């Protein structure tokens, strides 16, 4: 595959049983590229390996004063030089292509997995691990893929040179043939401790970076409480730990480098000493000695590839394990209704909590715990609850929409049916028009959605900042994550984007937590009117939103405790009243048996 053909039409289904299995699958996916790089590597390294022959021929021609053989040697050197240049350029081109295409394939696999799991990804895998996989780990795996073909060419060429030396000069050839494997394997025992020290250094550097970023982000608060020197001292201590870890890692890698210089040097000395004795005894000619010396010197060149592939594999194996662990995450979909393309309609029911949102109505849900509300919102969107939800070893039951479990729907159909907007929605960089250009039913226009989300002041501010001075807010640029906007403005634009999509079921988690009360009241009215006839679930504790809901469901410990209108629950349920009014519950609700005992 050529780089111009990226991205891959289909990155494939990886083998994620182990890191080794994933590496084998990755290399098999680009077998043609590896074979191409191997062929160019054989041309390049083979030409280098053949260079001692014309050198020895030229030396012997000088000794014998043979001009014709000197010209022949010069022609061979020129031809081999051209082959080395062409093979080197094409080998580098093919190897880098393998590296880029392999990294692109892994990036597409990670992007597909992230799209499949959504926000549930960070609940299953730590965000730091995902970041490490998508940056450093892919680079290490790409290094192994790139070095593999060069190693193969070097190994085949080395075997050929050793066989030729044994045939040409058996005694000297056997010495070289026995010494080369020893040199190739000598550094292997030193690699595991070196890699452990390098990993420890990266971990300490990551913690120091995290501490520095936290300190910078909270600098204003730290100055207010006089904590600058305290955190500065912590950072000094962390940076010194990084320095000590870096020194320990450098010592091990310097030892490996010293071994790589010492052992080949000893072999070369042994070959020169033995070859000189043979030349003095008249067993070989001077030109043959030069050719043998040059051949042994060449063998030091592929040894670097042996050491490189050992290092690359040692770094790539744990990276492949982490990558395989991320890619092994699965969305629990049975696929029983995999042939359906239309999204189902009807009531939305969650068997875990007992929540039922009536079709075509606005249902408000009060949890009291923001984290529990976030988990419920994710579950309503088709993601399973966390492992500690007590749902049993068989797995939690799926949310049901109109009698059809979401897990039995194709992913595309499930996402057309239910849209979840979390409490911290993401705004990507681009114009406002691009922000609202999302897959939608077409029933709700951008103007109506912006009006329902009370984005009038946002449009005015964007119109003043439009890039082309046209005054058109739809052409105004929104910075990454909407950093140029206030929290309330970002929240309202995200709500407008969700309203434009117009899904069958819209789940909103605290959609008005960053706006003032007057704006919140108007948003509640606009949301109710615009979503009329559509199922809407709002997780909130705001009385303004609760008062305009058709039904309010109160959850305690993840289960439905009461359902009624907002005003009825205020009168009948003290725990609900305590959550909504932010007042302590004077007396916990008692069961009928407890009431009789008190009487």
What's the CA dihedral at 443, 444, 447, 453 to 10 degrees? 170
* Whether the Cβ atoms of residue 453 and residue 511 lie closer than 8 Å to each other: no
Indicate the SS3 state at residue 269.
Answer: helix
Within 10 angstroms of residue 310's Cβ, the number of other Cβ atoms is 19
Helix (H) or strand (E) holding 380: helix 370-380
CA atoms within 13 A on the CB side of 410: 9
pLDDT at 396: 67
* Whether the Cβ atoms of residue 573 and residue 562 lie closer than 8 Å to each other: yes
For the range 400-403, what are the long-range contacts, defined as Cβ-Cβ under 8 Å and sequence gap of 24 or more? Answer: 400/348, 400/349, 400/350, 400/351, 401/343, 401/344, 401/345, 401/346, 401/347, 401/348, 401/349, 401/504, 401/505, 402/344, 402/345, 402/346, 402/347, 402/359, 403/344, 403/346
Cα separation values, 28 from 21, 59, 435, Å: 11, 46, 40
Q: Helices (H), strands (E): how many in the chain?
A: 23, 12
Within 10 angstroms of residue 147's Cβ, the number of other Cβ atoms is 22
- Among residues 87, 91, 94, 88, the alpha carbon closest in space to that of 32 is found at 94
What's the CA dihedral at 565, 568, 573, 578 to 10 degrees? 80
β-strand partners of 418: 505
Distance CA 249, CA 257 (A): 13
Give the tokens for residue 351: 């068997």
Give the tokens for residue 342: 């239309």
Q: What is the pLDDT along the chain (599 residues), one digit of tens a residue?
A: 677 778 888 899 999 999 889 999 999 998 999 999 999 999 999 888 888 788 778 877 887 788 888 898 889 889 999 999 999 999 999 999 999 999 999 999 988 888 777 666 766 766 656 776 777 788 889 999 999 998 999 889 888 888 887 887 787 778 777 887 887 777 778 878 887 887 787 778 767 776 776 666 555 555 666 666 777 777 788 888 889 988 998 888 888 878 877 887 888 788 788 878 877 877 777 777 777 777 777 777 777 787 788 778 878 888 888 889 888 887 654 444 444 556 688 899 999 899 999 999 999 999 978 788 888 888 888 776 554 444 444 456 788 998 888 877 777 788 788 999 988 888 878 888 888 888 888 889 999 999 999 998 888 888 876 666 667 788 888 877 677 788 888 899 999 999 999 999 999 999 998 889 999 999 999 999 999 999 999 999 999 999 999 999 999 988 999 999 999 999 999 999 999 987 665 554 444 344 333 33
* Polymer length of the chain: 599
pLDDT at 341: 55
Q: In angstroms, how far apart are the furthest CA atoms of the chain?
A: 126
Burial of 227 (0-12, 13-18, 19+ CB in 10 A): middle
pLDDT at 599: 33
Whether this model's pTM surpasses 0.85: no
Sign of torsion over alpha carbons 553, 556, 558, 559: negative
Give the tokens for residue 577: 């009243």
* Whether the Cβ atoms of residue 42 and residue 149 lie closer than 8 Å to each other: no
Distance CA 550, CA 562 (A): 14
Distance CA 370, CA 257 (A): 55
Helix axes 286-327, 19-29, angle to 10 degrees: 110
- Among residues 245, 38, 26, 31, the alpha carbon closest in space to that of 137 is found at 26
pLDDT at 119: 61
Distance CA 597, CA 599 (A): 5
Cα separation values, 39 from 24, 53, 160, 301, 302, Å: 20, 22, 15, 18, 16
């Amino acid at each position: 595959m050529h780089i111009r053909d990226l991205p891959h039409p289909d990155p494939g289904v990886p083998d994620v049983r182990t890191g080794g299995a994933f590496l084998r699958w990755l290399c098999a996916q680009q077998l043609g590229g590896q074979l191409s790089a191997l062929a160019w590597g054989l041309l390049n390294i083979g030409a280098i390996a053949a260079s001692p022959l014309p050198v020895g021929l030229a030396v012997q021609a000088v000794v014998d004063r043979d001009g014709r053989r000197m010209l022949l040697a010069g022609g061979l050197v020129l031809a081999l030089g051209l082959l080395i240049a062409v093979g080197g350029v094409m080998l580098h081109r093919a190897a880098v292509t393998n590296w880029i295409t392999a990294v692109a394939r892994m990036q597409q696999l990670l992007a597909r997995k992230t799209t499949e799991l959504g926000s549930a990804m960070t609940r299953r895998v730590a965000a730091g691990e995902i970041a490490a996989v998508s940056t450093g780990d892919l680079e290490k795996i790409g290094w192994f893929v790139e070095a593999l073909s060069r190693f193969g060419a070097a190994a085949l060429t080395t075997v050929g040179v050793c066989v030729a030396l044994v045939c040409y000069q058996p005694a000297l050839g056997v010495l070289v043939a026995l010494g080369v494997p020893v040199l190739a394997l000598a550094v292997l025992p030193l690699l595991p401790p070196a890699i452990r020290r390098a990993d420890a250094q990266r971990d300490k550097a990551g913690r120091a970076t995290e501490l520095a970023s936290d300190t910078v982000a909270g600098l204003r608060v730290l100055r207010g409480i006089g904590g600058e020197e305290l955190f500065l001292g912590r950072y000094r201590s962390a940076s010194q730990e990084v320095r000590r870890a870096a020194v320990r890692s450098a010592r091990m890698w310097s030892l490996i480098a010293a071994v790589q210089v010492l052992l080949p040097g000893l072999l070369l000395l042994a070959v020169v000493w033995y070859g000189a004795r043979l030349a003095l005894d008249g067993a070989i000619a001077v030109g043959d000695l030069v050719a043998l010396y040059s051949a042994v010197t060449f063998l030091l060149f592929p040894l670097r590839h042996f050491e490189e592939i050992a290092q690359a594999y040692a770094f790539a194996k744990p990276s492949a394990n982490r990558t395989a662990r991320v890619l092994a995450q699965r969305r629990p979909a049975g696929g029983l209704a995999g042939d359906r393309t239309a999204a189902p309609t009807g009531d939305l029911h969650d068997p875990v909590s007992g929540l039922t949102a009536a079709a075509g109505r606005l249902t408000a849900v009060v949890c009291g715990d923001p984290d529990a509300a976030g988990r419920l919102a994710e579950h309503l969107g088709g993601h399973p609850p966390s492992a500690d939800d007590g749902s049993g070893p068989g797995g939690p039951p799926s949310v049901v929409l109109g009698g059809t479990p979401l897990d039995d729907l194709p992913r595309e159909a499930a996402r057309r049916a239910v849209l979840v907007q979390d409490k911290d929605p993401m705004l990507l960089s681009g114009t406002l028009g691009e922000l609202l250009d999302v897959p939608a039913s077409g029933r709700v226009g951008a103007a109506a959605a912006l009006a329902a989300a009370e984005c009038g002041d946002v449009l005015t501010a964007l119109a003043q900042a439009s890039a082309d001075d046209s005054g058109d807010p739809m052409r105004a640029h929104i910075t990454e994550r909407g950093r140029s906007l206030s929290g309330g403005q970002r929240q309202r634009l995200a709500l407008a984007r969700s309203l434009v999509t117009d899904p069958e079921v819209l789940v909103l988690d605290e959609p008005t937590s960053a706006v003032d009360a007057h704006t919140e009241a108007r948003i509640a009215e606009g949301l109710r009117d615009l979503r009329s006839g559509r199922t809407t679930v709002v997780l909130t504790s705001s009385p303004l939103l609760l008062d305009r809901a058709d039904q309010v469901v109160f959850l305690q410990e993840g289960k439905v405790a009461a359902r009624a209108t907002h005003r009825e629950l205020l009168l009948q349920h003290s725990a609900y009243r305590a959550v909504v009014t932010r007042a302590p519950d004077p007396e916990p609700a008692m069961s009928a048996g407890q009431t009789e005992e008190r009487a």
